[in-house]
Structures are given as structure tokens and as C-alpha cells.
Amino acid sequence: MKLLMENFKKYLTEAVDGATWKGYLGWQVPTDKVNLDGVEQKYIDNRITRDGGDSFHITIITPPEVRAIIKDLKEKEGLSGGQAKKAAKQKLMADAANLSSTYKIGDTKSAEGPGDGAVGIKGADSIAFFKAMDWNEAQELRRTYGLEPKDFHITLGIGDNGDVHGVDKK
């Protein structure tokens, strides 16, 4: 697990006007916009360990969704895997660069469930603290790629067994 996290931290991050790429399409959120009141420091520290630094992001298009976009490009455009990856990344980053930061950040919430193992043990009970968000522009971007609406959120802290996925984060 340690080697996996070290490799994750080495992932190339590219930013354009807030948009970020780490094998998924994200949006960097300035730390001064995120209030951590009510989240214990140990949960914040777990998030920092997972993310490799004290920064915040919103996942706009997940890694599995990016892989589906790449596969679609390969089939429709007749591109090789590498060409499709490059084309998808360029298009997604260009589209995201046109987004504005006009999102609404909600109150701090939490969700419990099996942890993803980013820290601790995968599948063991964990908790995630987050702020739900409304961002119509980013939902529209997802629709242009044929994707369903997403529960946008900013993860503030995670439990000892990692983040909790597959639960409502509205």
C-alpha cells in the first residue's frame, strides 16, 4: 500500500485555470474557500496523507468515466490507445478551462461505510467528511460527454480506513 501511495503522489498534475488532471478531471479549490470547522485533525491528516498535500479538489469526471471516454474515442475516431488518451486529456482540460468558479459550497456533512483503503484497510468501516456542492456548469460539462449528474463535493477528512465511496454525498 505504501508503494501505491508513493506512486500516486508522483502522478503528474497539470492545472489550467483551476482544472486539474490526475487520470481524472478535477478542479482545484483554493484553501481559503474551505472551512474545516467541526472536522477532527486526525481525519484531516488522513486526507492529507492520501492526497500528498493539503489542497482541495472536486472530481468532475472520475477515472472509470475517463477510461470510457478514451475507449469511445478509440472506437469512433480509430485512434490508438495512446492517441485516444492524449486526445481525451486535451479535450477534457480544454473544456474544463472554460468553466467558471461559480459554485456553491454547502455545509459540512459526513458519510459512513466501507473505506476505500487509501489509508488503512480496504472494506473496513470508515467515515468521510465533506462539503456538498452545487455547480451547474460542471454538470453540463458531464452531460456533453453523456455522463449522469454527479454529487459534487469537497472531501475535508477521511477515516482511518480511507474515503467512503458509493454513498450519497449531496
Q: Residue 13 has what pLDDT? A: 45
Residue 130 lies in a domain: yes
Within a domain: residue 165? no
Q: CA 160, CA 60: separation in Å to the nearest integer?
A: 25
- Asked, for residue 51, whether it belongs to a domain, the answer is yes
How many domains does the chain divide into?
A: 1
CA-CA-CA-CA torsion sign (156, 166, 107, 93): positive
pLDDT value at position 73?
93
**C-alpha distances in Å from residue 31, one per residue of 47, 110, 150:** 14, 19, 22
Examine residue 131 and state whether it is found in any structural domain, yes or no: yes
d(CA 67, CA 64): 5
Q: Which domain holds residue 104?
A: 2-158
State whether residue 114 is helix, strand or coil. strand
166 part of a folded domain: no
Q: What is the pLDDT of residue 128?
A: 97
Rounded Cα–Cα distance for residues 127 and 24 (Å)? 23
pTM: 0.84
pLDDT along the chain (170 residues), means of 10: 40 58 92 92 95 88 96 94 95 92 91 94 96 95 96 96 91
